[in-house]
Amino acid sequence: MVSAHPDDKRGDADDLVGAVIGERYRVSALVGRGGMGSVYRATDESLGRDVALKILRSIPGDEAAVRREAAEVAVLASLNHRSLVTLFDASEFVVEGHPRTCLVMEYVDGPTLGERIHSGAVPGADVRVMIADLAEALSVVHAKGVVHRDIKPANILLGASQLPGQEFSARLADFGIAYLVDSTRLTEAGALIGTAAYLSPEQATGAEPTAAADIYSLGLVVLETLTRKREFDGTMIESVSARLSRDPVVPSWLGEEWAAILSSMTSRDASQRPTALQIVIAARDLPEPGSIDSQATVQHEVLAPTAVLAETTAVPTRVLPQATQPTERLEPAVRPSASSDPVKARRMPSTRARIVGAVIAVAVVAAGIFGVVAAMNPAAPVDSDTAPVLPAVDGDLGTHLQQLFDEAGK
């Protein structure tokens, strides 16, 4: 749910396992930790349900930290949507002898989207539902004047779906660094807030984040879910520099509709990105996206007809210059049509070519023999009775051979 923080000491955090917070929440496991606190799985002993207990980090004398805590509580309490993690309670409890702000939230029993991507390909139908649900949740968030600023696979929790044929339902979590639009900014001007691999171009330059920044990050998350490849990987400098110089690569095998919506969501020009509500509407008409496994199939389907077309059109071109009278009489029986089997269309011209070739070859040989005989005795008149006698050939071929000898004797 949250990433590791170098200042945390895992041993100290694990000491809370088994403790009862606020005389109500019994801690059972450490789920994760981040720059603003640690998250535990706990049991609400009053209601008998599992909850996520987020204990915010407290820094004595840090007034900005106090304001951030109050802001997070206010944000979570004001939001309500099935694709947002629900806040049940927010109180100040004594933890290990120190007062700490604790958020009691819905516990989502399932992996993060990042863990799910790592385990294998995510079904396209589930991705289609996910983009619609998360965009709808962001529409609610943005309407409240809130920008999440840290949308990434680790902040998207996947609970088991109750619907047949759907693997999971996605929930957006961790508003710890949410930015309240039109409120006093709680971070230093120009500071990078968020996770480097998913920052929008404007966030990368330190500009004030707007709702469009969340749309960009969501586009990168969905693209990674479909391709199982992080688009802007590497160090922070490499990752940030890359998004300022190019747009993400959206593979064509995803389909035209998916390529269009993801390209618009990840436009470097924030004004060209759709709103969350526009994405919800567009997602209703999205087909199931292509898969990584379908890439080779798509290429085969594109290339195969082209290869067949080139092969079927080349054969008649080679045969036509050799056309003779016998070929014209054979043509009606073997002429390929547009509806013919491409394989048959290739075979029939080849048969015709062999027949025509045989006629020409025999004629050339016969003419050659006659030429040799004439050269041996150029003064001798050609007489039909003394002319070389060749084996009898029946049919049209014999007729053509006889015409050749007759012409030579004139």
- Rounded CA separation 62/74 (Å): 19
Residue 93, both tokens: 């409890």
Q: 40 burial class (0-12, 13-18, 19+ CB within 10 angstroms)? A: buried
The amino acid at residue 235 is T
Decide if 269 is catalytic: no
Active-site entry in 44, 133, 150, 214: 150
For tokens 């209703």, name the residue.
284
Backbone angles phi, psi at 24, to 5 degrees: -145, -40
* Strands 146-147 and 156-160, sheet pairing: unpaired
Spell out where 148-265 has E strands.
Answer: 156-160, 168-172, 179-180
- Rounded CA separation 141/173 (Å): 12
For tokens 């955090």, name the residue.
13
Inter-CA distances, 55 with 8, 47, 374, Å:
13, 20, 113
What are the CB-based long-range contacts (under 8 Å, 24+) for 100-103? 100/55, 100/56, 100/58, 101/55, 101/56, 101/58, 101/69, 101/73, 102/21, 102/22, 102/25, 102/53, 102/54, 102/55, 102/56, 103/53, 103/54, 103/56, 103/72, 103/73, 103/76
Helix (H) or strand (E) holding 262: helix 256-265
Helix (H) or strand (E) holding 173: none
- Rounded CA separation 398/402 (Å): 6
For tokens 């206010």, name the residue.
74
For tokens 């020409």, name the residue.
360
- Rounded CA separation 126/90 (Å): 33
* Strands 87-95 and 98-106, sheet pairing: antiparallel
The amino acid at residue 8 is D
Angle, to 10 degrees, between the axis of helix 211-227 and the axis of helix 256-265? 140
Residue 303, both tokens: 């290339």
Active site residues: 150
